[in-house]
Amino acid sequence: NEITFSVQLFPSIRTFSLLFCASAIQHNITSQTTPGRSPFLLRTSFGLERPKTTIMTTDTSYDKNIVTVSSESSVPNKYQQDGEEAKEIAKYLPYFPFKGIPRFYDIGGFLAEPEVFQRIVDIFVDRYAEIGIDSVAGLDARGFILGPPIALALKKPFIMMRKQGKMPNTIDSESYNTEYGKRSGLTVQRDKINAGDRVLIIDDLVATGGTLSSAISLVHALGGKVVECACVVELKMFVDPSEESGLPSRTRLFKEQKMDHVPVWGLISEDILDVEAELPEGYVDDGEEH
């Protein structure tokens, strides 16, 4: 019981996007556009029959290629990173040049396709349904898109971790560094996490781990435990790079912050994000440098 469909994706600078930092890329990635070509067509298929909250598929083998900062996790290793389902979903994360970045990934591609977006939610729900989650925390801002449908399906509270100064009755984390520079810390309301709570943290992408480390520190400050940090995309190049590369290391950061027991999981890595958007004639990268 499958359906095959095709869709057109039109990249837009107004959509939510994943940023892939060009200065950090060590693979000599280049981006070329072809003016005058029509927007590309993608084809994929997804099973339509599903339980009310989850879909069980054949792609639930134990993941031998998952990249985490710790092997200690109570989470079953379902859904192989860059597996067959991940490859289908990756087709809806096209890249195009924007703000001086050769590969700017647009999650608006799968958000605009309910069947694909639902599939992502189902994968996350299936992964965490049986391990005793108390709440789901989403990171400002794209974690606010992905987290609520996952929390609803799991029937768990959703917690916002926002930029500072946006909510009352909060505790704040310290500022943190990302691949793009220093950022002010995150904040969470004091009454949303209780001592002993098992919290799942959701975001769209993990790179250096700076934002995740800020979120983890807030959960720990309130006495909670982070079961896992789960993202649609994990940039493996930042997991444990060599000193010679000059790249920031997520593994090193988590060890310094005494968070190396917290597992991180991503469904898709940069290895399969290779769909180049075919831009409309006259497209100009007029964004400011990131």
Given CA atoms 275, 276, 280, 286 in this order, what sign does their dihedral have?
Answer: positive
Contact 226, 209 (CB under 8 A): no
- Report the candidate in 176, 213, 203 with the shortest Cα–Cα distance to residue 266: 203
From 113, 179, 228, 234, active-site residue: 179
**Residue where the block lists tokens 């799991």:** 154
Question: Under 8 Å CB-to-CB from 127, ≥6 apart: which residues?
Answer: 75, 76, 78, 79, 230, 265
From 119, 127, 142, 162, active-site residue: 142
Name 276's bridge partners: 95
127 a catalytic residue: no
- How is residue 48 annotated by DSSP? -
Q: Which long-range contacts (CB under 8 A, 24 or more apart) does 92-95 make?
A: 92/9, 92/42, 92/116, 93/18, 93/233, 93/268, 93/273, 93/275, 94/9, 94/11, 94/40, 94/275, 94/276, 94/277, 95/20, 95/31, 95/273, 95/275, 95/276, 95/277
142 a catalytic residue: yes
Q: How far apart are CA 290 and CA 278, in angstroms?
A: 22
The residues that are catalytic are 142, 179
